[in-house]
A and B are shown apart, each in its own frame.
Chain A
Amino acid sequence: MTISADHTATDTPSTAAPENALTEAVQKFGITVEDYMLPARHQIQMVDPDGSLKPKGEQGTQPGHEYPVPGDKELLEAYEQLVVGRRVNDQNSALVRQGRMAVYPSSHGQEACQVAAAMCLSDGDWMFPTYRDAVAVMTRGVDPVQVMTIFRGDWHGGYDPLKYKVGIQCTPLTTQLLHAVGVAHAAKLRGEDTVVLAMCGDGATSEGDFHEALNFAAVFHLPVIFFVQNNKYAISVPLAHQSVAPSLAHKAVGYGMAGERVDGNDVVALLAVLDRAVKLAREGSGPLLVEANTYRMQAHTNADDDTRYRESAEVAEWRAKDPVNRMRTYLTDRGLLDDDGEARIREHAEAVAAQLREGLGEDVPVDPQELFRHVFAVQTPQLKEQSALLADELARDAAANDSKEAGK
C-alpha cells in the first residue's frame, strides 16, 4: 500500500487476513488446517518430573506439532532465571509478612511459565502481564524494585511500560489482552514485525474480554500469542467451574487460530513451544494460543486461605513436579551444571533478594501533591484548586505540629 503526501491511500488492501492466510500458514507443515489449529492430542512435555529427557516419540508431539529442544545456553539461562524467580517469589512473600508490601500474588510453582514468557521474546516485542506475572516482568529486564512498587502501595505502577515494552501489570481480568491486540495492530499497520505476548490465567478465560481479544486478533490476523497459565484455580474456584472445553487450548480453534498445550512446569517444553509460536507469529501465522498446565503452589495471595478449598495431598502431588528441581536434575545429569555453577546462580538469586529487601525495606516518602500531577496532560483549574486546598491543609498541620514541639 502506498500513501500520498496527504496521507490518503491510493489503494485499499484489507487489514484482515486474506481468506487463505491460515491455509498458507499450514502448508509448511503439510497437515490439514484442523490438525494445525487443534492442540496436539497430548500436552507437550520434554523433561519429565524426574528431570530426564523424554524419548522423542513420547514428547506429545505429532506431525505439524514438532518442537526442537532449545539450545544449552538458553536452557542454562532459563535455569538461572528459575532460581532467581523462585527466590524473588519467596522473598516477596516474606516482605508481605513483615508488612513491607501490601500484597503479593506469588507465582511460586509457576516460575517456568514466567521465565519462558519473558525469554521467548525479543527486545522489540511486547508483553502484557497480569498481577501474578511479576517474575516474568522482572525476567524481561525490569528493575525488581520497580516491579514490586505496585505491591508496596505508594503508586499503582512502578516501571515505564514504553521503555521495557511491558504493559502495566493488569488486575481487571483479561482487559490487558485487548491492549496487546492494539499494540500488535498498530505495529502491523506500520509494517513492524513486533510480536506481542498476552498473559492470563485459567479462570480469566471465562471473561468477555478474553473472547473479544482472541477474536479481534484472529480477524485482524495479528501476531499475538495468548499465553494461558492454567494453575487450576481462580482464587478458590477450580477450573471445572469455568469451562467444560476439552482444554483451554482447544478454545483457539473456535477463533480460527492454533492452540497448543504444554507442561507448564517443564521450562524446556515451554521454551520450545513459545519460541516456535513467536517465530510463527513473526512470520505471519496470525495469533496463537498456548495453555500451560501448571499449579499455583501457594494461596492466591497472602490474604487467602487455600485450606478452605483444596486438599494438601493435591498440593503435595504437584510439589513433586516442581519446575526448578526438575531443571536442576536435568542440567546436572547432562553435565551442564556443576556445584560451582549452582553456587554462582544462588549467589545471583541472593543478590536480587537483597536488592528487594533493601529497596522495599525503606519507607519511600510519598508526595501528596503527586495526587494531582498525573491526571491530565495539563492540570485542570479544578485540580489546581484541590491541590492548593491540600497544600494549605498540610501547611497548617505542619505549623500546628511545630508550635506543639516548641511548647514542649
Chain B
Amino acid sequence: MSPTITTSSEANGNVSAATARAAASAAASAEATGPQPVTMAKALNTALADAMHADSSVLVFGEDVGLLGGVFRITDGLTATFGEQRCFDTPLAESGIVGMAVGMAINGMRPVIEMQFDAFAYPAFEQIVSHVAKMHNRTKGTVKLPMVIRIPYGGGIGGVEHHCDSSESYYAHTAGLKVYTPATVADGYRMLREAIDSDDPVVFMEPKKMYWTKDSVDLGELRRLHTEGTTTGRTSEGRAAVARPGTDATLIAYGPSVPTALAAAEAAALEGRSLEVIDVRTIVPFDDETVCESVRKTGRAVVIAEAHGFASVSSEIVARVQERCFHYLAAPIRRVTGFDVPYPAPKLEKYYLPGVDRILDAVDDLQWEN
C-alpha cells in the first residue's frame, strides 16, 4: 500500500505545511471565473473539497455524508472524488463520531465531522466538553486537536421537533472551543477553510435556513486568496464584520440573525434611521474591538439572536459591551432573542424568532430624544 494518506501538516504531525499548500493551487478546478450566484451549501461543499485537495490528512465523516452527500448535501460528491477512505459514513452514534475524531486528530489527521442536526449533537456533548475542549490544555499544547465539528443550527426551515435548536451557547460557554458561524456565502467558504486550518478545535455552526441563500461570489478568487494566505489568519479569525454601516444605533447579530438584522436596518432606513449591523462571525474568539468601536460610535445597541436569551451568547454580548462602552451609551442595551421556551413547533416559530418588527420596536425603545 502506498502512503496514500499522510499526517496532518500542522498539528501532531511532521509533514511540512508547504507540501499541503502546494497541492491546493493545483486543485483550482475549471469552474467559471468571476462572481457567480452561489449558495451557502455550495460554498461549504467547495471549501470541504478544496481543503481535502490541499491536505490528505483532512477526512470527512458522519451520518449519511457519503453516498447521499449529507441530508443538506454539504458533502455532496466528496466520496466520489476522494474515495471512501476520506469521506465516509459511520455507524449512527454521535459520541462515536466525535470520539473517533479525537483519536484521529491525536494521530495526525484533521477530521471534519458532521452532526446531522443541532439537537442530535447532544449525545456527543461529553466528548466535546470533556475532551475536545480540554486536550490541548491538559497536555499543555503537546496534543492539539485540529478538528472541526460542523453543526447545522437554528430555525427558519419549519423543522419538526428536535430539528431546530440554537445550541451555540453551550459550546461558546465551554472554554477551549472556538465557535464560528458564517452569515454570508463568502464567509461560508472562508471561515470553513480557516476552521479546518486551525490547530484548535472549532465548532462550526451553520445556519441551516441559509443553506440555500445565494450570493454573487467568486469561489475561484476566494480559493486563491485562501491558498496565498491573504485572507487567512487568521485575519478573519476573531474578526467581526460591519455588515452594513450606519450611524444611529448598532445591531449586533450572528449567523441566522444577520439577514434579519439587515432587513431591519433596511426598514429603519426608510424611516430615516441609520442602523449599523455587526456580523459577529466568530462567537469565540469574540471580537470586542469591532463591536465596541461601533457601539462607541452610535451610542446605542440591540443584540439579536435566535437562541433563548437567558444565560446565552446574547447576554454575554450585552455584558461585554456594557462593561466596555458604558460611558458611550445613550440607552440601555436591548436584546431581541428567542423566548425562554423549548424550541416551538413550525406553526409557532414565527412568534418565537426575532423578526424585523420586534427589532424595530427595540430600536424605538433606545431612549431617543426626538
The reply to whether A377 and B136 contact each other, CB–CB distance below 8 Å, is yes
In the assembled complex, the Cα of A168 lies from the Cα of B91 at a distance in Å of 26
The reply to whether A182 and B176 contact each other, CB–CB distance below 8 Å, is no
Q: Which residues of A contact B83 (CB under 8 A)?
A: 1, 3, 8-9, 11-13
Q: Is A87 at the interface (CB under 8 A from chain B)?
A: no
Q: State the interface size on chain A (CB cutoff 8 A).
A: 54
Q: Is A308 at the interface (CB under 8 A from chain B)?
A: no
The reply to whether B126 and A212 contact each other, CB–CB distance below 8 Å, is no
Q: CB-nearest residue of chain A relative to B284?
A: A380
B53-64 Cβ-contact flags toward A at 8 Å (1 or 0): 111100100000
The reply to whether B95 and A178 contact each other, CB–CB distance below 8 Å, is yes
The reply to whether B101 and A172 contact each other, CB–CB distance below 8 Å, is no
The reply to whether A156 and B134 contact each other, CB–CB distance below 8 Å, is yes
Q: CB-nearest residue of chain A relative to B11?
A: A377
B83-112 Cβ-contact flags toward A at 8 Å (1 or 0): 111101011010110111111111111010
In the assembled complex, the Cα of A215 lies from the Cα of B90 at a distance in Å of 10
The reply to whether A191 and B1 contact each other, CB–CB distance below 8 Å, is yes
A382's partner among B95, B107, B139, B286 (CB-CB below 8 A) is B286
In the assembled complex, the Cα of A5 lies from the Cα of B53 at a distance in Å of 9
A128: min CB distance to chain B, Å: 8
In the assembled complex, the Cα of A208 lies from the Cα of B288 at a distance in Å of 40
A155's partner among B55, B130, B140, B143 (CB-CB below 8 A) is B140
Given contacts A15-B85, A156-B134, contact A172 B126 (CB under 8 A): yes
Given contacts A157-B139, A186-B103, contact A380 B82 (CB under 8 A): no
B36: min CB distance to chain A, Å: 22
The reply to whether B238 and A190 contact each other, CB–CB distance below 8 Å, is no
The reply to whether A186 and B142 contact each other, CB–CB distance below 8 Å, is no
In the assembled complex, the Cα of A380 lies from the Cα of B284 at a distance in Å of 9
Given contacts A191-B3, A381-B288, contact A161 B142 (CB under 8 A): yes
Q: Which residues of A contact B140 (CB under 8 A)?
A: 155, 157, 370, 373-374
Given contacts A156-B138, A182-B105, contact A377 B199 (CB under 8 A): yes
Q: Which residues of A contact B104 (CB under 8 A)?
A: 182-183, 185-186
Within 8 A of B (CB), among A201-221: 208-209, 212-213, 215-216, 219
8 closest A-B pairs by CB: A182-B103, A178-B99, A9-B83, A212-B96, A186-B107, A179-B103, A380-B285, A191-B1
Q: Is B260 at the interface (CB under 8 A from chain A)?
A: no
Please list the residues of chain A having a beta carbon within 8 angstroms of any beta carbon in chain B.
1-3, 5-9, 11-15, 126, 155-157, 160-162, 167-168, 172, 175, 177-187, 189-191, 208-209, 212-213, 215-216, 219, 370, 373-377, 380-382
Most chain A CB within a 10 A radius of its CB, from B98, B100, B176: B100
Q: CB-nearest residue of chain B relative to A222?
A: B100
A185's partner among B12, B100, B135, B200 (CB-CB below 8 A) is B100
In the assembled complex, the Cα of A15 lies from the Cα of B84 at a distance in Å of 6
The reply to whether A161 and B175 contact each other, CB–CB distance below 8 Å, is no
In the assembled complex, the Cα of A142 lies from the Cα of B226 at a distance in Å of 41
Q: Which residues of B contact A381 (CB under 8 A)?
A: 238, 285, 288-289
Given contacts A9-B86, A213-B96, contact A380 B238 (CB under 8 A): yes
The reply to whether B95 and A209 contact each other, CB–CB distance below 8 Å, is yes
